[in-house]
Amino acid sequence: MEKFKGLDEEKQQKILDASLKEFAEHGYEKASTNRIVKEAGIGKGMLFYYFTSKKDLYEYLTEYSLDFTVDKYFQRVDTSETDFIERLKKTAQVKMEAQMENKNVFNFLGTFMLSPGADMPPHIQKKYEHMLEMGNRMIYEGIDLSLFRDDVDVEKAFRLIRWSIEGYQNELLHKLEGQNIAHVDFAPYWDEFYEYLDILKKSFYKKREWEQ
Amino acid sequence: MEKFKGLDEEKQQKILDASLKEFAEHGYEKASTNRIVKEAGIGKGMLFYYFTSKKDLYEYLTEYSLDFTVDKYFQRVDTSETDFIERLKKTAQVKMEAQMENKNVFNFLGTFMLSPGADMPPHIQKKYEHMLEMGNRMIYEGIDLSLFRDDVDVEKAFRLIRWSIEGYQNELLHKLEGQNIAHVDFAPYWDEFYEYLDILKKSFYKKREWEQ
DNA sequence: ATTTCTGTTGACCACCCTGGTCGACAGGGA
DNA sequence: TCCCTGTCGACCAGGGTGGTCAACAGAAAT
């Protein structure tokens, strides 16, 4: 595993990509080390030279993904923004950037979170819990509640807004499936996304005086 | 396959349940006929006595699930209701009833719809398209648009509301995962659900005169 | 020039599981 | 006694599994 870290970035990334993809697509049990080495373009032996076992590889990937998510996503969200919807807007942008930088990490972590940590070593479980907590703070901490209408439960409004945004993101992801993400022009989708956010503001926020 | 239909209901259902579950959990390729026969409590030979092959079984299940969904779900939704949110409320109730009656069908069809019909015989593809169209009509046809606020695009409001409801349902499903569905008291969840619907009405519908 | 070290390969291992077959057999009717 | 209809599960060839290892390449060290 120290062996692996000594490789040049490019080769490391190729192996990480192949592995993340394989585990994301098939889950731990049914993921195939044979397919991984073929996809990564290395001999079978090397994988078990870098990592002692399939499980060892999987744990390395998990830790790598958690670190990546915290560094490139959670840590970059501007939590000084107190307008809930505006913060979600910025969150979405940062998330998209991180996703462009490494699509596979998100797919991998997605499947991991469906049945988390079953028998992960404690230090990884700690990291995972830390990430969850950080994600929560990133979204909810320091929000200006006075922007919301007085006649709805703010907690519930939070959730409705979050579900709406997740719904849009999922539908977009599904629509763009199969296309080469790098070649897609996202501008019109951002515009559309902002329109949805405007509607959410009109709907869940107080009417402000200067609007007629 | 006519052999299969001659079986008593109970045995048929046991085989259907085992098969739907297996395919839903593992997908077509990785589903195991051995696990199916074990779960269904029949000998290996019988499965291939009833169905000529794994593929034949899969196609039968698909058709069965499509028919079930149309009969027990889509056909039972009251489309005379013109209030969008009210209709969704009724839809959710009918869906829940159908889901209680046969949980496996919904899981199976869920995975099927992710990569639909690849090489299904035409009559099944037809059925699938018919179902999709029916689902669309069931949700959107004959809705009273005048209830919605004038300052938001109704199309977008439709989607936001649908995403919200799907978000709630998914979260609930996730929360109840592992519990025996039959023993859960759903009353409080319905109440909570209605509260969310009320908020959606307040947010996306016009303020009506008789409300202060 | 020789030995040692570090990477690297893919054939190979024992094992497991696959979809599907088939001979054996049970029991009811003719 | 002989079918016929169901029913079973041992069995088949084939393919995939995670992991090993003898062989080798080339650079570094002796």
From chain B, pick out residues whose CB is under 8 angstroms from the CB of A164.
160, 163-164, 167
From chain B, pick out residues whose CB is under 8 angstroms from the CB of A166.
163, 167
Closest by CA position to A113, among listed A6, A17, A22, A27 = A27
Q: How many CB atoms lie within 10 A of CB B4?
A: 17
Query: Residue A18 in contact with residue A46, Cβ under 8 Å?
Result: no
The first and second tokens of residue A12, run together, are: 């490391």
At B148 the three-state DSSP class reads strand
| β-bridge partners, A80 | none
Please say whether the dihedral angle defined by the alpha carbons of residues A134, A139, A144 and A150, taken in this order, is positive or negative.
negative
Looking at residue B212, its pLDDT comes to 46
Report pLDDT digits (tens) over B137-164.
999 999 999 999 999 999 999 999 999 9
Looking at residue A212, its pLDDT comes to 46
| Separation in Å, CA of B121 to nearest CA in chain A | 24
Please say whether the dihedral angle defined by the alpha carbons of residues A59, A61, A67 and A73, taken in this order, is positive or negative.
negative
Query: Residue B139 in contact with residue B91, Cβ under 8 Å?
Result: yes
B34/D10 CA-to-C1' distance in Å: 14
Subunit contact A167:B163, Cβ cutoff 8 A = yes
Confidence of residue B204 (pLDDT cuts 50, 70, 90): very high
The first and second tokens of residue A197, run together, are: 């956010």
Degrees, nearest 5: CA angle A206-A208-A210: 170
Subunit contact A160:B199, Cβ cutoff 8 A = yes
The first and second tokens of residue B179, run together, are: 């519990």
| Max CA pair span of chain A | 71
**CB proximity B160 to A under 8 Å:** yes
At A148 the three-state DSSP class reads strand
Query: Residue A91 in contact with residue A73, Cβ under 8 Å?
Result: no
Confidence of residue B210 (pLDDT cuts 50, 70, 90): low
Q: Average pLDDT of chain A?
A: 93
Cα–Cα distance for residue pair B73/B76, rounded to 1 Å: 5
| Separation in Å, CA of B167 to nearest CA in chain A | 5
Average pLDDT on B93-106 reads: 93
Looking at residue B117, its pLDDT comes to 67
Residue B132 has pLDDT above 60, yes or no: yes
Q: What is the DSSP letter of A117?
A: T
Query: Residue A73 in contact with residue A94, Cβ under 8 Å?
Result: yes
B99-105 contact pairs (CB < 8 A, 24+): B100/B181, B100/B182, B101/B72, B102/B68, B102/B72, B103/B181, B104/B16, B104/B17, B104/B20, B104/B21, B104/B24, B105/B20, B105/B64, B105/B65, B105/B68, B105/B69
Cα–Cα distance for residue pair B72/B101, rounded to 1 Å: 9
Subunit contact A153:B200, Cβ cutoff 8 A = no
User: What are the phi and psi torsion angles at B85 (to 5°)?
Assistant: -70, -40
Looking at residue B116, its pLDDT comes to 73
The first and second tokens of residue B1, run together, are: 């396959």
| Separation in Å, CA of B164 to nearest CA in chain A | 5
Query: Residue A161 in contact with residue A84, Cβ under 8 Å?
Result: yes
Looking at residue A50, its pLDDT comes to 97
Looking at residue B211, its pLDDT comes to 58
**CB proximity A157 to B under 8 Å:** yes
- Which residues neighbour A26 within 8 Å (Cβ) at sequence distance 6 or greater? A32
| Separation in Å, CA of B30 to nearest CA in chain A | 9
Chain C nucleotides reached by a protein CB under 7 Å = 7-12, 17-23
Closest by CA position to B160, among listed B85, B80, B81 = B85
Nearest to B199 among A30, A157, A167 (CB): A157
Cα–Cα distance for residue pair B66/B62, rounded to 1 Å: 6
At A205 the three-state DSSP class reads strand
Residue B13 has pLDDT above 90, yes or no: yes
Looking at residue B115, its pLDDT comes to 78
The whole-model pTM stands at 0.89
Which of the nucleotides lies closest to B32 (Cα–C1')? C18
Report pLDDT digits (tens) over A152-191.
999 999 999 999 999 999 999 888 877 877 788 999 999 9
| β-bridge partners, A148 | A205
Cα–Cα distance for residue pair A25/B137, rounded to 1 Å: 34
Looking at residue A86, its pLDDT comes to 97
At B150 the three-state DSSP class reads coil
User: What are the phi and psi torsion angles at B148 (to 5°)?
Assistant: -80, 150
Q: Average pLDDT of chain B?
A: 93
From chain A, pick out residues whose CB is under 8 angstroms from the CB of B151.
202
Alpha helices in chain A (DSSP H): 2-5, 9-30, 33-40, 44-50, 54-72, 84-101, 103-114, 122-140, 154-176, 187-204
Report pLDDT digits (tens) over A97-129.
999 899 999 999 999 998 776 689 999 999 999
B37/D18 CA-to-C1' distance in Å: 28
Which of the nucleotides lies closest to A29 (Cα–C1')? D17
Looking at residue A209, its pLDDT comes to 59
- Which residues neighbour B191 within 8 Å (Cβ) at sequence distance 6 or greater? none
Residue with tokens 């090397």: A46
At B205 the three-state DSSP class reads strand
